[in-house]
Amino acid sequence: MAKHKPISSDIAWSTTDKITVKGLDLCQDILGKVSLGDMAFLELTDRLPTPQESRAFNAIAVALVEHGLTPSAIVARMTLAGAPEAMQAAVGAGLCGLGSVFVGSMENAARLLQQALPDKNQSIDIGALAVQIVDRELAAGRNIPGIGHHIHKPIDPRTPALFAVARETGFSGQYVQLMNALAEEAGRRLGKSLPVNATGAIAAIASELEVPWDVVRGIGVMARAIGLVAHVLEEFRNPLARQAKAMIEGQATAHHLA
């Protein structure tokens, strides 16, 4: 067997009397002083947030916690119905669906923004950049991620709420402008109103916070874990999984016996 690189992790380690997390002393510097959202920021970025960063980051994380009866909530509840002794696995199963389709559009929006504007402070004509990106994406047959919504019309009500927080905390910079410009240009080209949705707003603010685009999905995963715990707890007290299964199976069986 070949020698291999020693195993190491810089996240956390312990001695008999001290626990170090991201370079801080868990007991002296963190417990009772750092909130859960700021701890998440520390875990993702290796440092504690400023008060402004904290407010903006908590707002986008909170926006991702709860979406009602999404597929992942239904998955968690149906899994619990079969294995009520393992609520952790019900939450785990629910997370497995947070992939390219649902959480992916947020990741794609963040990637598009960050690749178009690698340095958020560079001086650039945002309107011209938006035209160029929409040209390229539409020519390639791709959708612009982060715009439009199938339920929330004319606008997604989360977008103005999140962008207000961004303004108040000093994070309404060029990524937010570019996201808005993309929505406007895409709407103009496609002849319909396609305002920035929550996904696009979160992607823009995460980019302002300098969260790398391939870390953005992680915010969604951690936030939704909180929401899925709530669904699992409601399923214990007010179950719906069996009825939902009966409705689905009933309709499918009726189709075959018709």
154 cis-preceded (ω within 30 degrees of 0): yes
Q: Quick one: tokens of 252?
A: 């499918």
Rounded distance between C-alpha atoms, residue 160 and residue 151, angstroms: 16
**Residue number with CB closer to its own copies (35 or 132):** 35
Residue 162 interacts with its own copies (CB under 8 A): yes or no: yes
Residues 6+ apart with CB under 8 A from 27: 18, 19
Which listed residue (96, 127, 142, 188) binds its own copies by CB under 8 A?
A: 96
Phi, psi of 129 (to 5 degrees): -65, -40
- Candidate segments 38-46, 131-139, 174-182, 184-192, binder of its own copies by CB under 8 A: 38-46
Residue 142 interacts with its own copies (CB under 8 A): yes or no: no
Which listed residue (135, 142, 210, 248) binds its own copies by CB under 8 A?
A: 248
**First CA to last CA across the chain, in angstroms?**
63
- Candidate segments 128-136, 174-182, 185-193, 225-233, binder of its own copies by CB under 8 A: 225-233
**Residue number with CB closer to its own copies (128 or 161):** 161
Residue 48 interacts with its own copies (CB under 8 A): yes or no: no
3-state secondary structure of 160: helix
Residue 105 interacts with its own copies (CB under 8 A): yes or no: no
Rounded distance between C-alpha atoms, residue 232 and residue 158, angstroms: 25
Question: For its own copies, what does the binding mask look like between residues 68 and 87, x meaning CB under 8 A?
Answer: xxxxx-xx--xxxxxxxxxx
Residue 139 interacts with its own copies (CB under 8 A): yes or no: no
Least Å from the CB of residue 98 to its own copies: 4
Question: For its own copies, what does the binding mask look like between residues 179 and 218, x meaning CB under 8 A?
Answer: -----------------------------------xx-xx
What kind and span of H or E run contains 24?
strand 24-25
Residue 47 interacts with its own copies (CB under 8 A): yes or no: no
* Number of residues engaging its own copies in binding (CB under 8 A): 124
Go through the chain and tell me how many residues it has: 258
Rounded distance between C-alpha atoms, residue 117 and residue 115, angstroms: 5
Residues 6+ apart with CB under 8 A from 255: none
Residue 168 interacts with its own copies (CB under 8 A): yes or no: yes
